[in-house]
Amino acid sequence: MRALRCLKKYVLTDIDRWFRSYTWCIGVIGVMASLFFSLDRRGLIEDVVLTYGFSTSMTGALLSYVFCAFSFATVYIEDIEHKYIRYSTIRGSLKSYVFSKTVVIYLNSIVIMFIGTLMFLLLCRTQLPWAAYNPYDQNSYGVELAGCYAMFFKKKWYLLYCLLCSLHMGVIAGALSNIASMCSVFISNRALVLAIPILIFRIFTSVGFGPNGFCNIYALYADYKFFKQDMFDLLFVVLLTAILSLISAFGSYFGLKEKL
């Protein structure tokens, strides 16, 4: 019980720290800007759904993972520099301290990706319709109909469809941000730490063979469907990214233990 109370106190403190900082607002704007940057060569397409799908498939969208990590992934660097980590762990425990950071980094990345995507979609909607064609048109929406959440797409719940797709990117961002935070225990250069999400993403896309290849991170996007039930696809991605985040937490814990 004492450990749970300690963990709860750490989590509440970290959430308060998260919302008091302006950096998460920069992260949201950065995600939105990254999605627009992906459209640089082609510009807006026929409708919002196709524009969003195109933007997330282009290389420019990788910058969104950097902005998801921007607000909280460097927290260990900051705490070590200001010696706040010693003060925090004396009052509690290093395990609870690291686990709290892992949870908040994960949630922070999901929220930033979600809100940034929402802003992108609403701005696109001022210039484009949600869908320019019949939602059952395989020629126009083959990817959307074959992937997750096709049920919502067919019902013309386009905003909900796109936001559910963004959750997949959000939980991936959570895992990448936690990997970056683990690396920050050993690397004090903030710019290098923030580049790690892109580096890890590119590694995971390189080791796979084809879009559904083993370890290919694009296979975790909502465009690809593993199970009949959409809920299981989302739970699978959440479980996988949570495991990666926990592995990162262990790395952070042992790295910080050596430093302290």
Our count of domains for the chain comes to 1
pLDDT of 210 over the 50 cut: no
The pLDDT score that the predictor gives to residue 178 is 96
pLDDT single digits (tens) 9-43: 888 888 888 888 888 999 999 999 999 999 887 77
User: Would you say residue 70 lies in a domain?
Assistant: yes
User: Would you say residue 227 lies in a domain?
Assistant: yes
**Domain interval for residue 247:** 2-254
User: Would you say residue 260 lies in a domain?
Assistant: no
The number of C-alpha atoms within 13 Å of 72 and in the hemisphere containing its C-beta is 32
Length of the chain: 260
User: Would you say residue 222 lies in a domain?
Assistant: yes
Separation of alpha carbons 2 and 95, rounded Å: 13
pLDDT single digits (tens) 183-194: 999 998 999 999
Tokens representing 224 are: 């690809």
User: Would you say residue 48 lies in a domain?
Assistant: yes
User: Would you say residue 259 lies in a domain?
Assistant: no
The pLDDT score that the predictor gives to residue 162 is 95
Separation of alpha carbons 211 and 170, rounded Å: 19
Mean pLDDT value across residues 236-255: 95
pTM of the model: 0.92
The pLDDT score that the predictor gives to residue 90 is 81
Separation of alpha carbons 97 and 252, rounded Å: 10
**Mean of pLDDT over the chain:** 88
User: Would you say residue 61 lies in a domain?
Assistant: yes
The pLDDT score that the predictor gives to residue 3 is 67
Spacing of C-alpha 5 from chain mean position: 28
pLDDT single digits (tens) 92-135: 789 999 999 999 999 999 999 999 999 999 999 999 999 888 77
User: Would you say residue 247 lies in a domain?
Assistant: yes
